[in-house]
Amino acid sequence: MSPEIALLIMLYLGLVSLAATVKAIMDRDLVKAIAYSAIQSIAYAIMYALLLAPDILIVYLAVGAGIYPVLMLYAVSKTRRYEEDGSE
């Protein structure tokens, strides 16, 4: 792969991860925020693959896109929904 193509792919993945991070922070639905966080982790993992760091890639996929979202979804499932009522 030529360096120019690799650089363009890295730029695109960087923008995808930045957009996913902003969406995860701004979204009020916790499940969607967890999904955006997983998308960001997958984008970073692909960037590590392009940088030829397979050891970091494997760990990042296992933790960032596997264990962390599952634990967060489990934690969210154990909570109750609370919404403020406008009438006092």
pLDDT tens digit sequence for 3-21:
899 899 999 999 999 999 9
pTM of the model as a whole: 0.80
30-45 b/e with 16+ CB inside 10 Å = b? beebbbbbbbbbbbbb
pLDDT tens digit sequence for 20-77:
999 999 988 889 999 999 999 999 999 999 999 989 999 988 888 889 999 999 998 8
**C-alpha to C-alpha distance for 66 and 23, rounded to whole angstroms:** 20
**C-alpha to C-alpha distance for 25 and 48, rounded to whole angstroms:** 23
DSSP letter (8 states) at residue 78: T
φ/ψ (deg, to 5) at 78: -85, -5
Whole-angstrom CA distances from 39 to 64, 66, 77, 80, 81 are 9, 11, 20, 25, 25
